[in-house]
Structure 1
Amino acid sequence: MKVIQIRVKILLKEDTNASYIQSKVCSLIDYSFSKRKELLEMHKKNEYKFYCFDFPYPVESDKIYKKGKIYTLTIRTVNLDLGEFFSNSLLNIETHSIKALSSEIKIISQRPIEKIYSLTPAIIKNENGYWRDIMSIDDYERRIKENLIKKYNKITGEKMKEDFDLFNKIDVKNKKPISVKYKDIKLLGDKINLYISDDKRAQKLAYMALGAGIMEMNSRGCGFVNYKFL
C-alpha cells in the first residue's frame, strides 16, 4: 500500500465562506469524475472511496476565501488510479466556483508514526445525533478502530485480526462539537489526536489513514489527518 499525496493549485472564482469551501471542492471533484465512466460509477456507490482532502491553504483570517486568489488543495489517496487521476485529469477542470490549475504529486513514505491528528472534523454519521450524547468514550474509540480495519480489509482483501491496541492515547481537541455542513443538514464532529501504538497492525492502519481518512465521509472532506513520525 502506498499513500499518494497530490497538491493542487486552485483558483477561486468567487468569494466563499470557509463553512462552504468543502462542498465547493466536492463539486469540483464530483464534476471531474463525470468525465470518466468508471469513476462516476464509483462515486455513485455507497462504499469507501479511499481518498480524502484538507481545507484549501491558506485559510483566511476572516474565514472568507477570496475571489481571484490561488490556494493549495491537498488530496490524498491509497488508490493508485485515483492518484494518477487527481494528478493529471483534474487539471483544467472548473466549476462556477473553482478552477484547478496545476498539481504536484508525491508518495508519503511509510515510517514509524508517533501520532496522527485530524485537520478536518472526524464524523460519525448517526441517526440519533452527536456521539457524545449516545456513546461512551470506549465505544467511540472502538468505532475508530473498527472503521479503519474495515477500510484496510476492503482495500487489501485481507482480514486483519483485531486483538491489538490501535493507539495508546486519544485527545479530543475541541470542547464543543464542530459543525460540518452537508447538503441541507449540519453534522457534528471532532478534531482528535491519536497516539499510535507500536503494534505492526496499528502502524499499518495509521499509515493507511493518511490516504483514506478516519471515520466517515472522507470523500466529503471529513476526517483528513496529518502525521508525526517517530
Structure 2
Amino acid sequence: MKYFELICTVFIKVDIEFINSFDVISKFINFSMLKNDKLKDFHQQKGYKYYSFGGFYPLEKDKLYKKGRVYKFTLRSLDERFIDSLSTLLKENINNHFLQIVETNKKIVKQFFITELYSVTPVIVSLPRQKGEKQMFWSIKDDIFILQKQLQNNLLKKYKSFYEKDLEPTQNFIQLFEIKNQKPQSIYFTKKINDKKEQKVRLFGNKFKIIVNEDEISQKLAFTALACGLGERQSYGGGFCLWN
C-alpha cells in the first residue's frame, strides 16, 4: 500500500476566517476537478473519492488567514492519477476570488507501522437511522461502541471500493482512543438553494487520538484513514489525520 500527498503552497487574496476556510478549500478543489472530464465524472459519481485534505497552516492566533500571506495545505489520496491531474488543475485555477496555488510538491508514502492516529480536523460519523428520520451525528453522549463500529466499517468499505478486495478483521482496528474535545467540533460549508440564495450547513464532529492495533488488517485500515480520512465528509475537510 501507498498513498500520494500534495503539499500545496497558497497565496491568500482576501482575509479568510478559519470558520470559512474548509469551505474555501473544498470549493477550490471541486471547481478544479470540473476542469477535467474524467475528474468531473468522478466528482459527480456517488461513492468514495479516496482523498482527504487538511486546513491552512500555520494557523494564525486570531484564526484569520491574512490577505497577501502565504500558507500551505495538504491533500492526500490512494489514487496517483488523481493526485497528478489535480496538481496541474489546482495551479491553473487562477481566477479564484480567495486564493491562488503557488506551488505543489508531490510525495509518495509507502505503508509504515502506525502506533497512533490524531485527527486534526473533526471526524464526522453518521448514526444509524430509520427511513424518514433526521440524520444525526455521533456526539460524546452517544454509544462508544457504535462509534468504533462505524469508523471501522467506513474504512473497510473505502479499502474494498479502491482495492476491490475484502478485509476480514477479527477485531476493531482501534485498541484505545481518547476524545480530545469537550464539546462538538464543527465544519461549515455553504450550498446553493437556488441561483440567488445559499444556505450555511454545519457538520458536527469530534477530534480523536487513536491507539492502533498491531495486526496486519488494523494497520491497513489505519493507513487507509491517513490517505482517505477517518469517518465521513472528506470532500468538506472531515477526518484528516496525522500519525505517530
Q: Please, which runs of 5 or more residues in structure 1 have no aligned partner? A: none
Q: In 1, distance between residues paired with 2:102 and 2:203?
A: 31
TM-score scaled to structure 1, two decimals?
A: 0.94
Q: Please name the residue that 2:157 is paired with.
A: 150
Q: Displacement of 1:98 after TM fit?
A: 1.0
Q: In 1, distance between residues paired with 2:92 and 2:72?
A: 15
Q: Please name the residue that 1:14 is paired with.
A: 14
Query: How many residue pairs get matched?
Result: 228
Query: Which residue type is aligned with residue 44 of structure 2?
Result: K
Give CA deviations for 1:19-78 in whole Å, capped at 9, x if unaligned. Answer: 101111111111111110111111112211111111111111101111111111111111
Contact 1:125/1:187 (8 A) holds in 2: no
Distance 1:196 1:109, change over 3 A: same
Q: In 2, distance between residues paired with 1:38 and 1:106?
A: 23
Q: Displacement of 1:134 after TM fit?
A: 7.4
Q: In 2, distance between residues paired with 1:206 and 1:131?
A: 20
Q: In 2, distance between residues paired with 1:5 and 1:133?
A: 32
Q: Please name the residue that 2:28 is paired with.
A: 28
Q: Please name the residue that 1:224 is paired with.
A: 240
TM-score scaled to structure 2, two decimals?
A: 0.89
Q: Please name the residue that 1:174 is paired with.
A: 181
Q: Please name the residue that 1:202 is paired with.
A: 218
Query: Which residue type is aligned with residue 173 of structure 2?
Result: L
Contact 2:125/2:147 (8 A) holds in 1: no
Structure 1 residue 141 corresponds to structure 2 residue 157: no
Distance 1:178 1:61, change over 3 A: same
Q: Displacement of 1:164 after TM fit?
A: 2.2
> Displaced runs of 4+ in structure 1, greater than 4 A?
none
Identity level (%): 29
Q: Please, which runs of 5 or more residues in structure 2 have no aligned partner? A: 128-133, 191-199
Distance 1:61 1:133, change over 3 A: closer
Q: Please name the residue that 1:89 is paired with.
A: 89
Contact 1:20/1:181 (8 A) holds in 2: yes
SS in 2 for 1:180: strand
Q: Please name the residue that 1:75 is paired with.
A: 75
Contact 1:26/1:220 (8 A) holds in 2: yes
Q: Please name the residue that 1:103 is paired with.
A: 104
Q: Please name the residue that 2:123 is paired with.
A: 122
